Amino acid sequence: MKLLRYGPKGQEKPGLLDASGRIRDLSVHVDDIAGDVLSPEGLRRLAAIDPSGLPLVDGTPRLGPCVGGVGKFICIGLNYADHAAETGAEIPKEPVVFNKWTSAISGPNDDIEIPRGSVKTDWEVELGVVIGKGGRYIEEEDALSHVAGFCVVNDVSEREWQIERGGTWDKGKGCDSFGPIGPWLVTPDEAGDIGNLGMWLEVDGHRFQNGTTATMIFGVAHLISYLTRFLSLQPGDVISTGTPPGVGLGQKPPVFLKGGEVIRLGIDGLGEQTQKVVRA
């Protein structure tokens, strides 16, 4: 299934994408794509619904973040060997963990806002993992059974604030609009081989990132197991798993967003995002 949320900000309704690429309204069956709806049983109930019997949604409504009620937005840094190389960083011995604030979450095609005072706003296409079944001390061999689905994430980053201003990375990662999620949540049965998905990102038509999840250092199952040594995961938590090479910081010379650009990004089988860059 490809699950989604559509409508004005803060008023999104649940929906799914049918086989013809049309949005169907799920409001009669669930209140949101969130919480228990993401559990294995919740997803089984949705999978049993005949999409042709659901109301069609007219037009092309705004798409919201593909999951609601996110409790934690956890990110993994330097998780692609080729990206670590372009930044001059050593290959991490353990996953590098940081957070985005949930206020950073936005729809897949919403504007990205360059924060006031920013001079080094950057992009990162990433594979997002949405938790469906919570847990603590999850074994790696069981980890994928806790996944509700996968999605595209743009881990927008302010590099000066992340790297040059002291403290943790978080201050350069969690600004408002810095976490577009979607367009849809793709359940594992339709997501393909998550260990070998092509992923790409373009700015104004120029392709900067063109990579694959095959160069991940730590795979999805390992990341879930690793994180639950330190915290419990709940349904709706999002894990963004790192980016391949081609970020602005890695260009020679570096390239950063100024405002007015259009970013397009996508992952095989998981859909595409398009964002206009504006100044806050």
Helices (H), the chain: 40-47, 81-87, 159, 220-227
pLDDT (average), residues 245-260: 95
Q: How far is CA 31 from the centre of its chain?
A: 22
Q: 100-127 pLDDT, tens per residue? A: 999 999 999 999 999 999 999 999 999 9
Q: Are residues 135 and 11 in the same domain?
A: no
pLDDT (average), residues 178-187: 98
pLDDT score for 90: 80
Tell which residue, 155, 114, 154, 152, has the closest CA to residue 256. Answer: 114
Q: Are residues 47 and 95 in the same domain?
A: no
The values of phi and psi at residue 213, to 5°, are -65, -10
pLDDT (average), residues 9-19: 97
Q: 188-198 pLDDT, tens per residue? A: 999 999 999 99
Amino acid at 179: G
Of the pLDDT bands very low, low, confident and very high (cuts 50, 70, 90), residue 213 is: very high
Task: Report in angstroms the alpha-carbon separations of 108 from 52, 64, 66, 203.
Answer: 25, 7, 8, 15
Q: Are residues 102 and 180 in the same domain?
A: yes
Q: Does this model's pTM top 0.85? A: yes
Q: Are residues 140 and 203 in the same domain?
A: yes
Q: 115-160 pLDDT, tens per residue? A: 999 999 999 999 999 999 999 999 999 999 999 999 999 999 999 9
Q: 69-99 pLDDT, tens per residue? A: 999 999 999 899 877 777 777 888 999 999 9
pLDDT score for 89: 72
Q: Are residues 88 and 13 in the same domain?
A: no
- Does residue 37 sit in helix, strand or coil? helix
Longest dimension (CA), the chain: 55
Q: Are residues 39 and 137 in the same domain?
A: no
The CA distance from 112 to 110, in Å, is: 7
What single string gives the DSSP state of each residue in 87-118? HTPPPPSS-EEEEE-GGGEE-TTSPEEEPTT-
Domain count, the chain: 2
The CA distance from 66 to 186, in Å, is: 9
Q: 16-75 pLDDT, tens per residue? A: 999 999 999 999 999 999 999 999 999 999 999 999 999 999 999 999 999 999 999 999
Residues in the chain: 280
Give a yes or no: residue 64 inside a domain.
no
Q: Residue 192 belongs to what domain range? A: 73-279
Give a yes or no: residue 212 inside a domain.
yes
* Cis status of the peptide bond prior to 183, with omega within 30 of 0: yes
Give a yes or no: residue 156 inside a domain.
yes
Beginning with the edge strand found earlier in the chain, give each strand of the sheet holding 262-267 in spatial order: 112-114, 271-279, 262-267, 198-203, 206-212
Q: Are residues 12 and 45 in the same domain?
A: yes
If you average pLDDT over every residue of the chain, what do you get?
A: 96
Q: Are residues 102 and 182 in the same domain?
A: yes
* Ramachandran region, residue 182 (left: φ > 0; alpha: ψ -120 to 50; beta: rest): left
Residue 173 DSSP one-character state: T
Specify whether the CB–CB gap between 161 and 101 falls below 8 A: no
The values of phi and psi at residue 225, to 5°, are -60, -45
pLDDT (average), residues 171-200: 97
